[in-house]
Structure 1
């Protein structure tokens, strides 16, 4: 177990859950991106996103959900919306006092998966 990976640096499952809760609160308030969540079970999405981020950040979590491409199919998310999501995530992470170097790593990950989300 690597204690310096992002999962542990952020504070583990409980802290990641808090970040996810705040992130989606902000996403739902934003007029550019909130339309993508119409008709979505937000509790299910929050649970899913907590598991996915925990896994992606190096936590001891098994992720067996859909791929990013499958999960975003038919949503037609634009590059502009995706960039807004990255800004909202960065702002959320700042609220939780996540170090700049860790926010940069998380943003790099989000940018690396952009082709699997935008335009699906």
Structure 2
């Protein structure tokens, strides 16, 4: 799936579009107020690439470590996944591919939801 959708160049565009939405969100935008966004976009691009079958890899322990201090709750996780799903739709992902990507992310919810 990673190569079929254009590799890192395309995934990076998807992630930037996602963060445009996330930064405007009343529910999750505050999490990014003091974040160096270029670095955040790089990390998120690698993570999304990994769930699309790309070369990057993230362990569940690493996901938990980087999210633990953020105290992300279920509502915030749901907002993040809704915005990402909406973004994938806007980039013309097939429904089955969207479901696969979102399934990988939702399967890691317990490592991201830390509140």
**TM-score greater than 0.5 by the shorter chain:** yes
Superposition pairs of residues 1-80 of structure 1, within 5 angstroms:
6-61=1-56, 67-80=62-75
| Secondary structure of the structure 2 residue equivalent to 1:67 | helix
Pairwise CA distance, 1:36: 1.1
| Secondary structure of the structure 2 residue equivalent to 1:77 | coil
Structure 1 CA distance, aligned partners of 2:52 and 2:11? 10
What's the Cα RMSD here? Answer: 1.7
Q: TM-score, normalised on structure 1?
A: 0.87
Structure 2 CA distance, aligned partners of 1:60 and 1:117? 21
What is aligned with 2:86?
91
1:44-99 C-alpha deviation (Å, 9 max, x unpaired): 000111122222321134669x8111111211101011011111001100110001
Structure 1 CA distance, aligned partners of 2:107 and 2:57? 21
Structure 2 CA distance, aligned partners of 1:79 and 1:8? 32
How many residues end up aligned between the 2 structures? 114
Q: TM-score, normalised on structure 2?
A: 0.91
1:16-52 C-alpha deviation (Å, 9 max, x unpaired): 0000000011000011110111211111000111122
Gapped runs of 5+ residues in structure 2? none
